[in-house]
Structure 1
Amino acid sequence: MNSTYSTMEAPALKAAAAKKAPQVLQLTLAEQEQLQYVATVLAARYIHAEVPAFVHRARILAGELPPRLLSYLHNFKYDEDNYGVCLIKGYPIDDVAIGPTPAQLNNQIYSLNAVREEMLLVLFNSVLGDLMSWSTQREGRLINDILPIKGHEQEQLSTASNSTLEWHIEEAFHPCRADNLSLLCLRNHDLIATTFSSMATIELPDNVKRELFLPKYIFEADKNFNSPAFRLQDPAPVLFGDYAAPYLRIDPAFMHPIAGDQPAAEALALLIDLLNSQLEEVVLEAGDYCFIDNYRVVHGRKPFTARYDGQDRWLKRVLVTRDLRKSRTIRKNAASRVLLTN
């Protein structure tokens, strides 16, 4: 890894916050074996990780996880005096068994090559909240593949490669955006870094903070959202919540201050500079599960040259909300996890 980490025993999450770094829990051999057993049993019972019955019962089934992991994730959810990123490392991945990195996204087929790893991804995240997805993003799939696709090299999308994926808050434009997002690394032979910057690492001058709390910024949707309704929103603040420890919504590539508002523009520019100055690079390895607080941490990716030979970087991603009810008006029914965006 390119960052400084602290490997810890749960529930000791607070120590690493002072070091301004993501936190790491390294699985013991016994925990690896327990997770493999749980995942194998669930894969046989539910077939794939997006079966509604499995997703519905995931929080109950998570009781079969090692207690140390449950405590670690529970504390990450409720303690905000930490960096806002934590990792679980050491789950064994069979690079041959998972098959080649797909060349395209096929949202109609549920691949079973990494079904056990996906089962654990759902279980882990059920401790943090409820899985959610967007109807116009990967056709509403709860688990998304993150991999390079030919023709997307220069886009500001997770399927790009040659261009830097600029750091951002996920779906910053939407009031029902996820509280957390999580990544599972299946393959990263080229050691491509994911980037993070946390509100826990910066201090804003009071006059700048006051400006950023005002509704002076326009947020627009990226190309995953095809509805004209998301092309222009009412002005909104960048910072919100507790003034002493604010939450953050920011996506520099898809936002701008109100035209002609120089104080708003200068405040945003300073915030961007501060976040850039504290950018961390983390190289996810096969078997890593990474959990990100989408209210306090921005994330991105360093550029790379895609191989297109079946051995490219391959991640899985899920989005998590703590309050599924707040999106009820844009879901087909109360049980649905898919937020309608068209």
Structure 2
Amino acid sequence: MTETHKKQLYHVTVDFDRDGKQIGTFQVPLSVHDDAWGVIPVPVAVIKNGEGPTVILEGGNHGDEYEGPIALGELIRDIDVADVAGRLIIIPAINQPAVLAAQRTSPIDGINMNRVFPGDALGSATEQIAAFVNDVLFPMGDVFIDLHSGGSSLNIIPSAVIEPGLTPEQHAANVKAASVFGTPLAVVIDNRGDPRTATASAARAGMTVIGTEMGGAGTTSIEALALCRRGIRNVLASVGVLPQRMATPVPAPKLYTLSPLAHLITEDDGVFEALHPLGTEVSAGDVAGRVHFLTQPARSPVELRYRTSGIVYARRQPGRVRPGNCCIVVASPHTEVQS
């Protein structure tokens, strides 16, 4: 099957090249037991006014992360076309089935969308959605904003995320975008080198890329949502799509990175007790927490120790753990010069 035939699998109800504000869907075919010719209607908005950069904004890659979808829905409703110079392509609930189910992964195929890029136009439902973004939308874009939080399983310090650039120029642009977003800290995260994330795929497409982690714990954060609303407009103003009057001056963030020793993984089945709040400065070798065995009262808890020094950046939200679960993430100071 040719690339043209693959693209014909999708139906799009908006015109990406037309000026004005349009709200519609792109539709991925879904043939299931109770709907032979059904589709997944993924909401998409296009706000275009003349020439200028194209910014693609995505929320809901994981369906249990809420700040991004809320802020993007507000942006769609509130932005006046006259204030735009260029084009906004806004996908507030990209993983529509997961958003409706409030799950990290899609209830249709069980796939984590942020580990499936560049997707597959002939694959499962999640792979097809990712392929549309990668193959159809990314070639249009200059800047990609991917809004995440910790979801149900993690609570994370609200922060901008710096995707490692593939060139010095792209990396500098990514750092600048994270700096103007306006969070107290920005963290370089490469997802342990996994190339299948949306931001890694966008970087390969040559765009300036910024991500976020906006709290988590399976709920919305007042502080994180305020940062998200402000940060979106700051980035859009910094690239010239919105007027500078819509931006809010912010101090430069502290830069951190996740080293290969950042993630603290348990080897036991029990209940995890964390010892330090988010933001606590810790040192390698310190006790981070304990895994307790509630039905074995004679058994002493197992201690987990930090593998690197820095601050407690993220902490597992559910107390129940099993072997392989990530309990703590430590962010270490980053020495890169800000630009």
Identify whether the pair has TM-score above 0.5, normalized to the shorter chain: no
Q: Which structure would you say has the larger RCO, counting Cα contacts within 8 Å and 6 or more residues apart?
A: 1
Q: Indicate the structure (1 or 2) with the bigger Cα radius of gyration.
A: 2
Superposition TM-score, scaled by structure 1 size: 0.23
Structure with bigger strand share is 2
TM-score, structure 2 normalization: 0.24
